[in-house]
């Protein structure tokens, strides 16, 4: 189980993504900012949280882009590092095109997302501090192939995640309406899936396909700015969350037998020849 830490950023998100789920919840993200109102209590809650839960990964994110307040972000990471298990990896999720060294080095993984092919050219420029590139599949990617994406980005990132947008027919928010009208078409998604699951040999490229990034069940819980845990970003009330100790979860891993993580991810080994072709193409 991952912990998504919602960074206490003041004000609205500058990125204004039209599909932003974080701004579409009925509760309006009106949670207490305990971090600012009572820092000691916030830290005490953090400590208690990490004493009683074994998180697989800590994902630092927000209802506003965490990079828009670098000092707050740095402070939150510092606090998390003081209480977390040293083995637990910590990841930053950002939409900013560059992450400075002093922030990037505090994280095990920096993950940057783009939602339009016109941002592909900037990937190479910011590659030094980015570990994973997330491609949010809007209709701007219609017709794209994996090769074309790599060609236009000008380099091959070691980790790539494709994220489809979450369509919820029951929702009538402007964001859900936008998603219904601007999701990447099914033909493109199917072709991309086929390309990234082409078979194996020598070189390993980690490519994930995420069809439902908003599904919280058994994947993550959210730590809100009030220091409490929520089973999903939709929830307006905190929950008691029980995460079994890692040792008791080893059997779950074994039963997976190295297979893909259901609908979430496909870790793919690409043919060396294919990879070399890509390399030639992006030079
Ligand atoms: S960066 Fe994240 S929080 Fe900000 S608008 Fe985009 S999706 Fe929403």
Instruction: Calculate the average pLDDT of the chain.
Output: 83
DSSP track, 163-215: EE----TT--SHHHHHHHHHBPPHHHHHHHHHHHT---SSEE-EEEEES-TT-
Residue 17 alpha carbon to ligand 1 centre in Å? 5
Length of the chain: 283
Q: What is the pLDDT of residues 103-145, one digit of tens each?
A: 999 999 999 999 999 998 887 777 788 889 999 999 999 999 9
* SS3 (DSSP) at 3: strand
Q: What is the pLDDT of residues 204-246, one digit of tens each?
A: 578 888 887 666 566 789 999 999 999 988 899 998 777 655 5
* Strands 89-94 and 57-61, sheet pairing: parallel
Instruction: Specify the CATH number for the domain of residue 228.
Output: 3.20.20
Residue 46 alpha carbon to ligand 1 centre in Å? 24
d(CA 280, CA 145): 16
State the total domains in the chain: 1
Lowest mean pLDDT among 158-172, 190-204, 248-262: 248-262
Of the two residues 181 and 126, the one the predictor is more confident about is 181
Of the two residues 159 and 47, the one the predictor is more confident about is 47
pLDDT at 2 over 90: yes
Residue with token string 């977390």 = 84
pLDDT at 36 over 70: yes
* Residues 30 and 61 sit within 8 Å (Cβ to Cβ): no
Predicted TM-score (pTM) of the model is 0.83
Residue 186 alpha carbon to ligand 1 centre in Å? 24
Nearest CA to 126 out of 99, 145, 165 is that of 99
Residue owning the nearest CA to atom 6 of ligand 1: 17
């Amino acid at each position: 189980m991952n912990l998504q830490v919602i960074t206490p950023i003041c004000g609205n998100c500058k990125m204004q993504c039209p599909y932003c789920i974080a701004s579409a919840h009925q509760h309006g993200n009106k949670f207490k900012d305990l971090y600012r109102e009572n820092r000691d209590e916030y830290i005490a809650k953090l400590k208690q949280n990490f004493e009683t839960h074994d998180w697989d990964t800590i994902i630092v994110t927000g209802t506003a882009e965490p990079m828009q307040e670098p000092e707050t972000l740095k402070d939150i990471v510092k606090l998390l590092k003081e209480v977390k298990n040293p083995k637990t990896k910590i990841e930053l999720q950002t939409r900013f095109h560059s992450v400075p060294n002093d922030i990037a080095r505090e994280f095990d993984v920096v993950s940057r997302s783009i939602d339009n092919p016109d941002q592909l050219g900037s990937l190479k420029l910011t590659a030094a501090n980015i570990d994973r590139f997330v491609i949010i599949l809007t209709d701007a990617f219609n017709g794209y192939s994996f090769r074309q994406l790599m060609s236009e980005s000008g380099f091959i990132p070691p980790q790539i995640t494709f994220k489809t947008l979450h369509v919820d027919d029951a929702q009538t928010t402007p964001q859900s309406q936008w998603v219904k009208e601007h999701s990447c078409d099914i033909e493109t998604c199917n072709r991309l899936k086929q390309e990234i699951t082409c078979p194996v040999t020598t070189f390993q490229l980690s490519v994930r396909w995420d069809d439902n990034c908003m599904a919280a069940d058994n994947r993550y819980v959210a730590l809100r700015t009030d220091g409490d845990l929520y089973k999903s970003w939709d929830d307006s009330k905190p929950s008691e969350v029980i995460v079994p100790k890692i040792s008791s979860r080893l059997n779950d891993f074994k039963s997976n037998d190295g297979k893909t993580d259901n609908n979430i991810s496909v870790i793919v080994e690409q043919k060396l020849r294919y990879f070399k072709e890509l390399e030639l193409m992006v030079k």
